[in-house]
Structure 1
Amino acid sequence: MTTAAAPAPPGAWSVQRAGLASRIGSSALVLVAIALFAVPQILSANVVQQLTSLLVFLILAVMWNALAGYAGLVSVGQQAFIGFGAYGTIYLTQRGIQPYLAVVLASLASAVLAAVLSLLVLRLRGGQFAVGTWVVAEAIALFVMLDQSLGGGTGVSLQGLSGYAPEVRRAFTYWLTLAFAVLLLVLLFLLLRHRTGAALQAIRDDEDAAASLGVRVRPLKLMLFVLAGFGCGAAGALTLANTLFIQPQSIFGVQWSAYMIFMVLVGGIGTFEGPIIGAVLFFAVQYFFADQGAWYLIGLGLAAVAFALFLPRGLWSLLNDRLHVQLLPVGYHLRRQGARPRSSSRET
């Protein structure tokens, strides 16, 4: 015979992952993702191309936040994988592989590259890791510039998509970009919902202490580094499919790291929702101010510094502190019986 559990006394605390508001928000986000697949049929070609760029920014923001926000790996060299994914697509199409298949294969090749580079860069910490990733990116860019079959330093076009009608090419590129964005968000969500998520954050907070508690530091950092390499490689390949032309100076440019840092700091580092907000805001800023040249980059840098100093938890913290909701909750929060949940901007 079993007995019913006694109700919690008034004022008691309970640990919860999600409440009603989070379930509603998560369901709404899933519905939005499904609705986005209809965009090429109902919106103009220019809007489709612009939304493809937005999704690429989203992928980059989410990947950089996974590294820095959840594992403490502050990289300024993710452009190595962006460029490698783009030029890998060119290399494969030159050998007769269908362009969109080449995009997928180049993304997987970027993950392999990340696994190889991890043998070197994951031995570094802090500022050394940041500088090391940047040096690797510059070295890969130099190798690409020396290869005349890839256009050398003048750039190269993706000829394989010239056989598609423009509206068909834009639609296929958009759908593939959306599929990559959804896939990477789901993978990261499942990873952070698992106990691995807590282990990664322990590494971020104190790597030595995490290791002393039995956390497998090296394999977890490797896994996240490879995932970020795959995502950034996909972003580079999809950028090529969207623009059809690349140059080493631009696709391997350090400005990509500046963009990622800006999106994550403004949205909210170490949160799942923050990079999504940061990507949307950055896309709007770029759309209106990108033609300002150097002043545009200076403005991005100053804004990032201002957020780091005066709003270090990002814009998402302003909403979270008032609404106490996580659209895709990956952590836990304390809830008093009859009270609203208390949570931090970083999932724990």
Structure 2
Amino acid sequence: MTMHLNRPASSFEVHRATRASRVAVAGLLIVALAVASAPWWAGRDALHDFVQLASYLVFAMMWNLLAGYGGMVSIGQQAFFGIGGYGMLILSNYGGVSPFVAVPLAAVVATVVAIPVSRVAFRLEGGYFAIGTWVIAEVFRLTVANVSVLGGGSGTSLTALQDVPRALRESLTLWLALAIVAAAIGLVYVFLRSRAGLALTAMRDNAVAASSQGVDVKRARLIVYLVSACGAALAGGLYFLGNLRISPDAAFSVNWTAFGIFIVMIGGLGTLEGPIIGALIFFVLNRFLSDYGTWYLIGLGALAIVVTMFFPQGLWGFVSSRFGLQLFPVGRRVVFVDADPAQKRSTGGMTDTLDTPQATHRA
């Protein structure tokens, strides 16, 4: 990376967007409009599939935020996924709240629950933290399984929607899923573009060094833990709103975190684009190959091993480094406006990147 110190301050501009990011925004808007209009042209199975895909994507994004950017590898995020699902059901069946309003309310409840949980989990580091979060999730599962009013171990159904016409219920669920996905992508993107996002990545790379530079590591870890818990709860509430039934084994299954890790590792850890690519790949594999049972799981594991060996940065990480594409650029590019054309062609107009989590990650 070249630094030109002899240039006057007025001869450069700081750019954040790229041509690829502008195309991506336009493409996402087109996709969002197509999905929003799906109740008028798509079948019921397609609507249900999108809700499931949205749940996988949001959950994977939150795990990526926690581990890929925050450096906290958790295998217990299904705890908040289950809290989101059961919170939605309790508020709807017993509290008289509309299930579509209960989904974000349950996410707030999960965020509040995550505060005391974090005090326990943050006493552990590294592998102990990962195993500890799994144990916490199991505690929640066993607790809910012993509550008879919630159906115990066999679970219960969402009855609050029984008087809502099927077509209206499916349309509202789809639009809620679309809103949650858009909010998750937008809020995580804005967060990573801020100084708090830069501090988060610095903490991930070296917590001691980040603390010595003035980063409040404890506060940053708590914030990202609460945000990821809230997002996981949104995914859980949405998923069981679409399925209309919930059980402790389904809500608090470690498979959710396993799938989230698979999606992120396939797509690209520590990128915004990675979970999107990974979620699409996982959904296609799950949709067409899940009937093969054990062989399907073996295939997922084999694919994860192959990608890890040959594409350690994930599929999007490879594409991004190979072609220089960034659909969601979170950094800043310093472009010298008076540079000669030959120099601009050789450097792409970019001479340095400032205050960017991705720059720290590449370093």
Q: TM-score, normalised by structure 1?
A: 0.91
Q: Tell me the amino acid that sits aligned with residue 164 of structure 2.
A: Y
1:251: which partner in 2? Answer: 251
Q: Tell me the CA shift for residue 185 of structure 1.
A: 1.1
Deviations 1:24-52 (A, max 9, x none): 22332234224322122221111111111
Cα distance change of structure 1 residues 230 and 17 upon mapping to structure 2, 3 Å threshold: same
RMSD across aligned positions (CA) = 2.2
C-alpha distance in 1 between matches for 2:11 and 2:156: 68
> Could you say which residue in structure 1 is the equivalent of 2:221?
221
**Residue number in structure 2 paired with 1:347:** 358
The answer to which of 213-222 and 18-27 deviates more is: 18-27
Please, which runs of 5 or more residues in structure 2 have no aligned partner? 1-7, 336-342
Cα separation, 1, equivalents of 2:110 and 2:21: 34
Deviates most, 212-221 or 30-39: 30-39
Question: Which TM-score applies when normalising by structure 2?
Answer: 0.88
Q: Within the alignment, does 1:186 sit opposite 2:186 as a pair?
A: yes
Name the counterpart of 1:329: 329
1:1-20 correspondence runs (5 A): 16-20=15-19
Of stretches 323-332 and 136-145 in structure 1, the one that deviates more from structure 2 is 323-332
Kept after mapping to 2: 8 A contact 1:269/1:314: yes
Q: Which runs of 5+ in 1 are unaligned?
A: 9-13
1:100-119 alignment runs, 5 A limit: 100-119=100-119
Give the superposition deviation at 1:312: 1.2
Q: Secondary structure at the match of 2:229?
A: helix
The Cα shift of 1:5 comes to: 7.2
Matches within 5 A, 1:176-325: 176-325=176-325
Range that drifts further, 15-24 or 289-298 = 15-24
User: More displaced, 282-291 or 294-303?
Assistant: 294-303
Of residues 328-337 and 106-115 in structure 1, the stretch that sits farther from structure 2 once superposed is 328-337
Cα 1:164/1:207, change in 2 over 3 Å? same
Aligned residues, how many?
A: 340
Structure 1 stretch 98-107 or stretch 168-177: which is displaced more? 98-107
Is the 2:311–2:318 contact (alpha carbons within 8 Å) kept by the matching residues of 1? no
Match of 1:23 in 2: 22
Matching residue of 1:338: 345
SS at match of 2:358: coil
Shift of 1:218: 1.0
Give secondary structure in 2 for the equivalent of 1:221.
helix
Cα pair 1:113 1:229 within 8 Å, conserved: no
Tell me the distance in 1 between the aligned counterparts of 2:132 and 2:349.
41
Percent of residue pairs identical: 41
**More off after superposition, 285-294 vs 316-325:** 316-325
Alignment partners' CA distance in 2, 1:21 and 1:341: 15
Pair 1:341–1:173, CA change in 2 (3 A):
farther
3-state SS of paired residue (1:160): coil
